[in-house]
Amino acid sequence: MKSSRYLVYIGVLIILLTLPFYTGVYLLNVMDIILIYLALALSWDMLLRSGQISFGMAGLFGVGGYAAALIHLNAGVSPLLSIALGGLAAGFLACLIGMAVLQLRGMYFAIVTLALAEIFRVVIRNLPDLTGGPEGTILPSAIFSGNSTKTYWLVLTVAAVSVIASEIFRRTRIHFALTSIRNDEIVAKSSGISVFKYLVFIFAVTSAIQGITGGAYAHIYGFVSPEGSFSLDFTLLPIAMTLLGGMHSTWGPVVGALLLGVVSEFLKLKIPYGHLLVYGIIIVITILFFPQGIVGTIGQRLKKNHVERLAS
């Protein structure tokens, strides 16, 4: 049973790795976008496991993108290293902010993150000498000179990093700490969990993932701009994907990102701009009828069947 599951994982991994050899450039570009949103969706869910909702993903995504682009341009650091440094910058910034605002909870924390994302955008927009101001900054060339195969592998790596991080969070003591904090902070404290420390830690780690993703995005498209890099899409779509797929798991956001990613690509061709409306409808239907998302609902059904079979 267990070994067959690993065979499936290895099979999927091989298919994903070798995808460029039997598909065209268009599909790879679509995959790039889907995987970028997948990484963001996972990072959002990882923070959600502690009960904290962030609306600031676009902010840290943008900061990571700008940091990667500017470090590459001004310090001559290689693009790949600059992506990692962009993630580090976003994580460090989140650590500082987290220490200040993680006394807040729930909606109050969510509103602060939404405001922070906007503050980052405004600050960057108003530093034209450093950031290029409202026009943004264009990089001399896209990463790997625009080679779509290598670009795809880069994004696949970023997505893999977030999947691995999410699984580590699911399997170690971090899982116990976050679940306790989400459900009952008083019990968590009384059990010896340093609630504040864990929240700052998880906020910094998820922000670093968002920063890395932003860095990769900046280098793939070869430019950063206040409107493009801080687009609200980078906050709203990952949330929609996670809600659709199912919260508090690794596979929920993955399934949600794949599904909604494919649907959005299809809709963009059929009804440009109308896709946002469809997202809205999907989110409303999901929350009303399967609040646990696709993966959560299937899991529950399987469990129920199992129990019924045991009972009969």
Partner 1 sequence: MTILKTENLTRHFGGLAALDHVNMEIRENEILGIIGPNGAGKTTFINVIAGIYLPTQGKIFFDDQDITELPAHKRCRLGIARTFQLVRPLPGLSLLENVMVGSLFGKGLRQREARKKAEELCEFLGLSNMTRDITRMTALEVKKMEIAHAMATQPKLLFLDEVMAGLNSDETMEMIALVRKIHSWGMTIGIVEHVMRVIRELTHRVVVLDWGQVIAAGAYEQVSNDSRVITAYLGEEA
Binding residues (CB under 8 A) for partner 1: these are 172-173, 176-177, 179-180, 182-184, 186-195, 248
Q: Which is nearer to partner 1, 108 or 176 (CB)?
A: 176
Q: Which is nearer to partner 1, 175 or 236 (CB)?
A: 175
- Give start and end residues of each alpha helix (H) in the chain: 2-22, 25-48, 57-75, 79-101, 106-125, 128-131, 148-171, 173-183, 185-190, 195-221, 226-229, 233-245, 251-270, 275-289, 293-311
Q: What is d(CA 144, CA 80) in angstroms, rounded to the nearest whole number? A: 10
Minimum CB separation from partner 1 for residue 5, in Å? 19
Q: Which is nearer to partner 1, 183 or 305 (CB)?
A: 183
Q: Which is nearer to partner 1, 135 or 184 (CB)?
A: 184
Q: What is d(CA 278, CA 193) in angstroms, rounded to the nearest whole number? A: 42
Minimum CB separation from partner 1 for residue 180, in Å? 5
Minimum CB separation from partner 1 for residue 289, in Å? 21
Minimum CB separation from partner 1 for residue 166, in Å? 16
Q: Which is nearer to partner 1, 281 or 310 (CB)?
A: 310
CB atoms within 10 A of CB 36: 24
On the 0-12 / 13-18 / 19+ scale of CB atoms within 10 A, 218 is buried
3-class state of residue 222 by DSSP: coil
CA distances from 288 to 44, 283, 285, 303 (A): 21, 8, 5, 22
Rounded to 5 degrees, φ, ψ at 103 are: -80, -20
Q: Which is nearer to partner 1, 195 or 258 (CB)?
A: 195
Minimum CB separation from partner 1 for residue 189, in Å? 4
Minimum CB separation from partner 1 for residue 194, in Å? 5
- The type of residue at 176 is F
